[in-house]
Structure 1
Amino acid sequence: MTTAKLTGKSAGFGRPRLSTKSTLKYLILGTFLACTAVYFVYVNDALAGKVDQIRSFHTASISHNLEKPIEKLIVHAQAEQTRLLSRQSHNLSTAAERYRERRGRHPPPNFNAWYDYAQKYDAILVEDFFDRIYDDLNPFWTLEPREVRRLSAPWAHEHVISVRNHKAILKTTSRDPMRRMPQWHRLIEELAQWLPDVDLPMNVMDESRLLVPWEEINRMVQEETAGRLVAPPSEVRTQYTGLPVIDSEPQDEPLETCPPDSPSRNTPPVDIYHDSVKMPTVYPVHSFEGYVQNWTLSKDSCQHPHLRSLHGAFIEPVSISTTQSLIPLFGGYKLSQNNDILIPPAMYLTTDELYAGRGDGGPEWTQKRGDVVWRGVASGGRNKAETWTHFHRHRFVQMLNGTAVHDFETASLAAEGTTFKLPSQDHYSLMSLRNGSLGGWLSTVTDVAFTNLECFPLPPMPADQHLCGYTNPYFAVRTQIPMHAQYHSKYLPDVDGNSYSGRFRAFLRDSGSVVLKATLYNEWHDSRLMPWLHFVPVDNTFIDIFGVLDFFLGAEGNGVHDKLAERIAREGRVWAGKVLRREDMALYTWRLVLEFARLCDDRRDVLGWVNDLNNE
């Protein structure tokens, strides 16, 4: 979600124009008080009980000092959430009106049934929550309906879910090692009674697959925008035509992806076998005084050329099969440059305890340990002896390992085993550094380790396959910690693996802990989660992680900052229970399928729902 800019001293921001420091403090405090008052009234009146558990931050908690960037970001997030919720739809006619206002078309047929389902399950409806659907589908409006149907037909793909006569049909002709297709099929099956005939090709790989050149996508988006039509109600058709008989007619299936003005556009490739780690030590671009401000831009590798040397997705993915053609392909996650169509990930639909936990929450905040815990495998791609220092999970584990950081501080960490650099003290003024060793302090607050080093190639002996000769000197393998046991810690990092992390939803919904989230991947829920209100965003270099931990767990962490953390944990858990339920994923998927089916219809320009207009 793109958020409005703050003002500050970091790169890209102008200096405050107020005459004195105290004036600035009182102005910010006054703005916060006003936002808090509006939000409190809104929660109690406008939401009428729907989000009555979403509590405003209490002014006294942070009014003592609003000079710290993290405090400013938290206040700003609260105001943004208030603005977003002010656009909630409470009846069908308002939902349809806001749809037309934001999309430039009539809602799709059966929009009323979709709205009734939302009402039945007490869903919070904000049209902005569905922006991702239109970002993904709008380029397809430049293709003829027949072409969209042909490109999504079952004979053209290995994994497809088809709806015919309100029945969901699963087709899988190759391996699906993570069992994603049954999860998606079950969700579509639940909705099939309301869905038109449609074919949904699915991507079961860890990596996203469509990489259409930026110029082509940009042309398509402009063409789609210019061609939007809100047809007169008398001309609108309210029934899908249905798919032509194409199931028995097989046919042959018929790169620069960054914008021209982006920093990564013409940057020469990194020699990952010989170049050292290109990790910045100063404030990341687009940050607010060193901390993530714009969640969308922070995940866009076109804006951060150095990430090509710091993330496994750009080093050597485990599996990859891409095309530069725009074809319909649905998947659970993608990089900003990819053109896959997002659907809720299969791992968010499973009941597997590895991803969903046990469904029970952690202890109360005051009963949790004031530390950071993480366990995972050394995934992120196929790491090798020559490339592992460029992998994001290896860097993450080293940066949160007190011994590794101490060795770096004392220059005893061997150069070939270095995955990171310490931030400049001129940029991140850390209390823990001023009081002694950063590594020594980290050793008291972090418990971060790999459970398997994912060596390539694997050692020949099964007993050694969790180890790895080239990384054994730097990493100690630890036993796994079940998710419900991790909930006893106040801070739960969540970082990318081979793609997105399947634990994020469960962490937010169940743990009652603060989720520290770093990712390059876009997902279906991005427009409905607010960084710094529901979770703490972390830059993908992890350059800001020490500052984040210093703020919450350092010298001041046991006081007011601990209270801020408690409220972020609570807000995240309450909000996830309102907008990340299975019913919310069903609503998103239902809307997505209705829109995609309209794209495939020869009458799509006049296909829609206009009952609210006909009844005026």
Structure 2
Amino acid sequence: MLLSTTPSTTPSTKSSKTTSSTTSLGTTTASTTPSTTSSTTPSTAPNKSSSTTPSTSPSTSPSTTSASGSMATVYVVLAHLAKSTTIQEHNEGESCVPTGEILVTQLSLSSLGIATILMVFMGDTGSGLLVTFTLGVAQAVQWSSFYCLTTSGFAMASATSQLAAFAVRVPYLQQGPFGADTSSFIIVASLVMYFLTLPRMNSMPLWSRIILMMVPLLPRSMTVAIPQTWARKSHPIELLHLEGRRQYDDMVSRQSKTVEEAITEYHRRYFRAPPTGFDSWAQLALDNDMLLIDEFDGMTKAFEPYQQVDPTVLAKILERVLDMDLDDLVIVKIENSKITSSSDRFWNYHGEYLHDWLAKPLYKELLPNLTIILNTFDEPKVVIDSKYAQPTLDQASNIQFTNFGKTHPWSRMTLNCPGASPVSEVAEHIAVEFVADLTQTQDVCQHREYEKLHGFFNTPGNLNLVDLPVPLFSQARPSTFHDLIDDYDEEKGFPWDQKRTSLYWRGSTTGGYNTIENWQEMHRQRLVLSTIPQNGPYNITLLEQKTTRSSWNPYRTISTPKLQGLFETSISEVVQCDEEACDELKAALPPEGSQPDSASYHHKYVLDMDGNGFSGRYYRILRSRSAVIKQTLLKEWHDDWLVPWYHFIPLSMQGSEVWEMMRFFSTDEGDEIGAAIAESSSRWTETNLRKVDIELVTLRLILEYGALFDRKQ
């Protein structure tokens, strides 16, 4: 799902080429093209889900918080002034209005003075001054009404009106199934109590007494209404960041604190008993302060297709793969805590790492005897055909891997998608979309436009597929593949304020096999073509806000040199292409050679994109104190632990929102959020990517894998 901001009117656009962008919300992303060509018409998909776009108008914002802080100061000072103000005495029955007017005037003028001082010395805006002054006047009127009521023989009115105000002011009374009824009952009871004690003779008219009864509600009503009316409307990225922070805090707070809780939570999530040794694993995780002990949904659910296969058939499948001796697969056997491998390549891949922790007695006691298949290539391999979901022994004996490299295997990669998967349609309106639901965005079946937008689906350079349930481990996979997900492990950068406000990416033209027909569609080349400064200016879509209280609306414009200066994107090397495509690529995107890893540390924002498979640089740049902008269709083991917009910034596959993204991050508000995301990601690597965390993740993975062959449990 993508959070979309669209205008109320539909401008007319012309295009020479249509680029699709399907979302579950039926919204679109405007594409980015050099201004020398006509702008690209975005596309949309019909709404296939019940999800809704988050609101762009939160109940609170930085300006609301500022107003609340200002009002706290105003209330304290006004209370002191009210206490020290000399009020003329009057006899019972005489009107208190003149004296009340004097008190209101004195306190209101004091409120204005305080608000002005706050604006000058504390940076409040003009609208903040108006909010502070208005609430100060409301408070002055309230206190003056108390004076009138109590000095005119209406002390009960003051007391009961405060009780009514309490019903509106206290949040917990508004919650629950009877919240509204509870508040209403207290208010009505207050009115009844007042009229039962009403003096029979008094010069004050009934209507004026009723108005005075309602005055104590005024300041509370004003503080509720003013933020919605006068507060600054937050940018969509601000809302997404706040939601990401809330999600992560909630996730951390609900983790199991005991082994028993972890076992119960496993049953609740997966509707099955945990694997043998899980209780010991959970105790190890607790003893080593593993932060997210319960969050393994992606890894654990990947085993579900294999749990439908008879263990005898799975063993036959492994035996058959062993006999095939494929170069891109490594067979690893763990027997009595000793490890052997079918290839020397394994020792460069995982061997030394596994040996280090296999030597630890606590782990050795838990390891089952088993055979593991490791995929050492970037591309995943398993797309289970539904007709082979529960294969026979004969079918298991006839496993074949088919090479689809340098072809267009979209239909084979998506053979399990429903026949009515969404198809992108041409749209005539503009929008700026930000990824609000990463799971939906990565659902290949929901986005048929990925056939063109991602090199792996367009024309993979190398791809060997099998359609039977072969339980092999890869390091990442798209949503339509069934590889089991293995973990992998990868220096601190500079402090945030020493970095440049710019987005950095440099890489080679991997991701797919480039031909003269398709190289401009490949995801890496397409993003560099649409952001590289020397190719500008570009036709882009940004968001604008007419006033701080108005909504954010998209508009078409031309990129300025200042905006283009926020990007440092380039190609390091041209590879994986036929001769004609290589020549054209070099002419359009002259390769600039490789740079050391530390080159990215000088930039506040670092882009990370898929290559032929997962990105091996991801953990490094998460550690680097830069904010990572991540564009990927691949699922990895850490997906349950990293929260979009809190630990990283997700970028859609079309990627045209990157211009508004960087424009916002170049502002003071955006820089503050960027710094917070960079800090969160760096802290995440320190608390969730320790050596012991990787060891425990690997151990749990092996226990889950071993359970496939041990159904007696």
After TM superposition, is the score higher than 0.5? yes
Distance 2:298 2:633 in 1: 16
Match of 2:562 in 1: 441
TM-aligned CA distance change 1:135 to 1:30, over 3 Å: farther
| Cα distance change on mapping 1:30 and 1:194 into 2, 3 Å | farther
Do residues 211 (structure 1) and 380 (structure 2) align?
Answer: no
Q: Map residues 535-554 of structure 1 onto 2, 5 A cutoff.
A: 535-553=648-666
User: Residue type matched to 1:125 in 2?
Assistant: L
What residue is the counterpart of 1:131 in the other structure?
297
Structure 1 residues 283 and 69, CA gap change in structure 2 (3 angstroms): farther
Q: Distance in 1 between matches of 2:298 and 2:494?
A: 35
Which residue among 358, 362, 374 is the counterpart of 1:202?
A: 374
| CA positional deviation for 1:472 | 2.3
The C-alpha deviation readout for 1:95-144, integer Å capped at 9, x for no partner, is 122122222233222223312332343211341x2112222111112111
Letter in 2 for 1:584: D
State the shift of 1:577 in Å: 1.8
Trace 1:371-386 onto structure 2 (pairs within 5 A).
371-386=502-517
Amino acid at match of 1:578: T
1:271: which partner in 2? Answer: none
- The residue identity in structure 1 corresponding to 2:332 is I
- 1:258 matched to 2:411: no
- Matching residue of 2:696: 587
Residue 449 of structure 2 corresponds to which residue in structure 1? 306
Aligned to 2:620: 506
Q: Could you report, residue by residue, the CA deviation over 1:181-237 in whole angstroms, capped at 9, with x for unpaired residues?
A: 5467547745555301011111122211111236876x99xxxxxxxxxxxxxxxxx
Which AA in structure 2 matches 1:207? E
Choose the corresponding residue for 2:273, options 100, 106, 111.
106
Q: Within 5 Å, which residues of 2 pair with 1:370-409? A: 370-406=501-537, 408-409=538-539
Matched, 1:479 2:610: no
Cα RMSD of the aligned pairs, angstroms, is 3.7
Pick closer, same or farther for the CA change 1:141–1:394 going to 2, 3 Å: same
Q: Which has the larger radius of gyration?
A: 2
How many Å separate the matches in 1 of 2:506 and 2:378? Answer: 20
2:329 pairs with 1:163: no
Q: Which residue of 2 aligns with 1:272?
A: none
Distance of aligned partners of 1:455 and 1:135 in 2 relative to their CA distance in 1, 3 Å threshold: closer
Q: Is the 8 A contact 1:535 1:568 kept in 2?
A: yes
1:523, CA displacement in angstroms?
0.4
Q: Distance in 2 between matches of 1:208 and 1:198?
A: 22
Any stretches of 5+ residues in structure 1 without a counterpart? 34-59, 221-249, 268-277, 350-355, 410-421, 460-466, 608-616
1:291-312, Cα deviation, whole Å (9 max, x unpaired) = 0011111112221111111211
Q: Relative to structure 2, which stretch is displaced further, 116-125 or 448-457?
A: 116-125
- Provide the rounded CA distance (Å) in 2 between the counterparts of 1:479 and 1:112: 51
User: Are the aligned partners of 1:402 and 1:442 in contact in 2 as well (CA < 8 Å)?
Assistant: no
- 5 Å-filtered alignment, 1:336-375, equals 336-344=479-487, 348-349=488-489, 356=490, 360-375=491-506
User: Secondary structure of the equivalent of 1:163?
Assistant: strand
Q: Deviations over 1:251-309 (max 9, x none)?
A: 66485121344215xx9xxxxxxxxxx9989678xxxx610011111112221111111
Is 2:678 the counterpart of 1:519? no
Deviation at 1:152, TM superposition (A): 2.4
Q: Give the counterpart of 1:75 among 212, 237, 242.
A: 242
Opposite residue 180 of structure 1, the aligned amino acid is: Y
1:490-520 per-position Cα deviation (integer Å, ceiling 9, x unaligned): 0000001111111111111x21010000001
Over 6 Å off, 4+ runs: 5-10, 13-18, 27-33, 278-284, 424-428
Give the counterpart letter for 1:575 in structure 2.
W
Q: Is 1:26 the counterpart of 2:59 in the alignment?
A: yes
Cα distance per residue 1:10-68 (max 9 Å; x no partner): 645898999xx9xx5436889999xxxxxxxxxxxxxxxxxxxxxxxxxx9xx963432
Query: Does the 8 A contact of 1:329 with 1:340 survive in 2?
Result: yes
Quick check: 1:279–1:306 contact (8 Å CA) kept in 2?
no
What's the CA shift for 1:171?
1.4
Q: Deviations over 1:405-449 (max 9, x none)?
A: 32x54xxxxxxxxxxxx4588999579x76xx4152343121111
- CA distance 1:283–1:379, shift in 2 (3 Å): farther
Distance 2:460 2:601 in 1: 31
1:339–1:183 CA distance, 2 compared to 1 (3 A): farther
Aligned counterparts of 1:343 and 1:31: Cα–Cα separation in 2:
46
Shifted more, 439-448 versus 318-327: the winner is 439-448
CA distance in 1 between partners of 2:231 and 2:482 (Å): 46
> What is the CA distance between 1:166 and its match in structure 2?
1.3
Aligned length, in residue pairs: 480
Whether the 8 Å CA contact 2:3–2:434 is kept in 1: the answer is no
Moved more, 65-74 or 159-168: 65-74
Q: Which moved more, 1:183-192 or 1:329-338?
A: 183-192
Distance 1:183 1:385, change over 3 A: farther
Same amino acid, percent of matched pairs? 25
Aligned in 2, Cα 1:367/1:30: closer, same or farther, shift over 3 Å?
closer
User: Which whole-Å CA distance do the structure 2 matches of 1:192 and 1:280 have between them?
Assistant: 59
Q: Does the CA contact (< 8 Å) of 2:442 and 2:479 recur in 1?
A: yes
What amino acid does structure 2 have at the position aligned with 1:104? F
Question: Residue 565 of structure 1 corresponds to which residue in structure 2?
Answer: 674
Tell me by how many angstroms 1:595 deviates. Answer: 1.6
Q: 1:547 to 1:539 in 2, by over 3 A?
A: same
Shift of the 525–14 alpha-carbon distance from structure 1 to 2, 3 Å rule, reads closer
C-alpha separation in 1, matches of 2:376 and 2:427: 34
Matches for 1:425-436 after TM superposition, within 5 Å: none
Kindly tell me: are residues 545 and 187 of structure 1, through their superposed partners in 2, closer, same or farther at Cα, counting changes over 3 Å?
A: farther
Q: What is the SS of the residue equivalent to 2:582? A: coil
> What displacement does 1:487 show?
0.8
Partner of 1:97: 264
TM-score, normalised relative to structure 2: 0.61
Q: Structure 1 residues 428 and 315 mapped into 2: Cα distance closer, same or farther (>3 Å)? A: farther
Partner letter of residue 382 of structure 2?
A: L
Correspondences of 1:232-251 after superposition (within 5 Å):
none
Q: Partner residue of 2:83?
A: none
Partner Cα distance (1:32, 1:527) in 2: 32
Structure 2 vs 1, CA of residues 97 and 369 (structure 1 numbering), >3 Å: closer, same or farther?
same
2:349 match: 180
Query: What code does the residue aligned with 1:522 have?
Result: K
The answer (yes or no) to whether the contact 1:167–1:193 under 8 Å persists in 2 is no
**Is the 2:317–2:397 contact (alpha carbons within 8 Å) kept by the matching residues of 1?**
no
- 2: distance between equivalents of 1:131 and 1:75? 24
Change beyond 3 A, Cα 1:473–1:458: closer
Q: Which amino acid aligns with 1:199?
A: T
Distance apart, 1:543 and its partner CA:
1.9
